[in-house]
Amino acid sequence: MRKSLFKYSLIVAVILLAIFLFQKINWLPSFNNIFKSQPVVIEETPIIIKQINTLAQLVTVTYTDEVVMDQAKTGNGIPSIVSAGIGMMMLPPTDRLVMIGRGKVLAGIDLKNITSADVKTTEDSIHLTLPHATILNTIINPSGFETFDEKGSWSETEVIALKLKLKNELTQRAIQQNILRQAEKRSKNIIETFLKAEGFKKVDISLNN
Amino acid sequence: MQSMPVYKRCYVNCRMRKYLIFLFVLPVLITNCAGNKTPSKTDLVLGLQKMSDLATAEYVVTKLIKANDDKTWYKAGDRKILMSCKASLVAGIDFSKITENDINVDGKNISITIPHAKLIYVDIKPEDVKTVYQEVSLFRNNFSSEEKNNLAKQAERQITASADSLGILVTAESNASIFINNFLRKQGFENISISSGSPKQTLQ
């Protein structure tokens, strides 16, 4: 009796050990994953080049931040009942979308429009007129967006509108942080260092009015 | 049948128990010792940071995002989606890496070694990711905005990974040479020689 109990326990233990080992080397799905939704994986499709542009942008400052925004509208679901004083009140259903956007704002100067008139050299001195710094781009890629809450039905246009609001908010924050002044200062430093490395003893850089 | 003496029975029981404990504990130990190492998430550095990249080339690319949600065995019915995505890849050189050692001046002659080009950023605008077609069976929900965004994230990764094979780095390096050549000519240099030097970098 005891012998057979030992034998059965041994078989069970060996089976359990085998299951654990097979799960470890991914031959079997883990118990947690059996009822887990499988991720939707996109197919490898070709990337087609539509346009090639030549740039000459000196990116000198980047501002990285995260912003949160929400949007609400009257939905089509079941109205919610809330207590109001001694009675109850019926509120129309509310669809809500809360998104987080993490991205960056790039600032610098566009050197494409520098003409010969902007560069004046005399022996070992140079005077250069640079354009003012601008916001070159605000980037929040799909990897930077996170949907914190999504209740109800939201159309693609509404989602895009909220994402654009997040981008706009990010740009505004960067401007409030004086990104343009910092970018101008840094651009002047970089160009000055480059010109001095070329051998110019006196370098004078001004900004275009 | 002759029964075992009490002391012997106790000895066998103790040995059996030891074996059983060992057999049950071993898999747990193996799995625990192996550990589930999750990659540490890179912390996002917020705020202003200095850069010195000269962006010289932009590639505008398109890609179709095709996905089929039929891999979960207990969900009745399939979902298919087709989305279009437009991205802009910008590459250039790190201007701060051109030092005095990389420049040789001899009167009106100058030779410069510029660093190799790198991918500066990938930009996928929210309005450039559009759903072209979707088919959802009766028992399934439509793709939520988060699910669509997850598909776009995968496309972003594929586009970023393909930057080098698209040839943007070669174009960026060539454009950087042309820009610097023109800039130096405006300063009065006549014989200009530009070459590429330091090792290649990729977007982090």
pLDDT 10s digits, B72-97: 766 777 889 999 999 999 999 998 89
Taking the whole predicted model, whether its pTM rises above 0.90 is answered as: no
With tokens 């998430």, the residue in question is B41
Task: Mark which residues 6-35 of A lie under 8 Å from B by CB.
Answer: 6, 9-10, 13-14, 16-17, 19-21, 23-24, 35
φ and ψ of B39, to 5 deg: -65, 135
Residues of A in contact with B60 (CB under 8 A): 49-53
pLDDT at A3: 79
Q: Among A169, A119, A111, which residue's Cα sits nearest to residue A136?
A: A111
Of A40, A46, A164, the CB nearest to B67: A40
B56 Cβ neighbours under 8 A, 6+ residues apart: A54, A55, A56, B91, B92, B93, B117, B171, B172, B173, B175, B176, B179
Ordered per-residue pLDDT tens for chain A, 209 residues = 677 888 899 999 999 898 888 877 777 766 666 677 778 889 999 999 999 999 999 999 999 999 999 999 887 766 677 676 667 777 777 889 999 999 999 999 999 988 889 999 988 899 999 999 999 999 999 999 999 999 888 999 999 999 999 999 999 999 999 999 999 999 999 999 999 998 899 999 999 87
With tokens 């991918």, the residue in question is B119
pLDDT at A31: 67
Cβ within 8 Å, pair A42-B155: yes
Handedness of CA B99, B102, B103, B106 (dihedral sign): positive
Cβ within 8 Å, pair A38-B27: no
CA-nearest residue to A128 within chain B is: B187
Q: Could you tell me the pLDDT band of residue B17, with boundaries at 50, 70 and 90?
A: low
Which residue in A22, A23, A42 has the most chain B C-beta atoms within 10 A of its own C-beta, making it the best mutation to test that interface?
A: A42
Residues of B in contact with A190 (CB under 8 A): 52, 95-96
CA atoms of A181 and A113, how far apart (whole Å):
20
Of B56, B142, B158, the CB nearest to A55: B56
Q: Is A49 helix (H, G, I), strand (E, B) or coil?
A: strand
CA atoms of A198 and A124, how far apart (whole Å):
10
The residue-averaged pLDDT of B4-22 equals 59
Q: Is B151 helix (H, G, I), strand (E, B) or coil?
A: helix
Q: Could you tell me the pLDDT band of residue B20, with boundaries at 50, 70 and 90?
A: low
pLDDT at A74: 84
CA atoms of A89 and A86, how far apart (whole Å):
10
pLDDT 10s digits, B144-168: 889 999 999 999 999 999 999 999 9
Of B30, B49, B150, the CB nearest to A62: B49
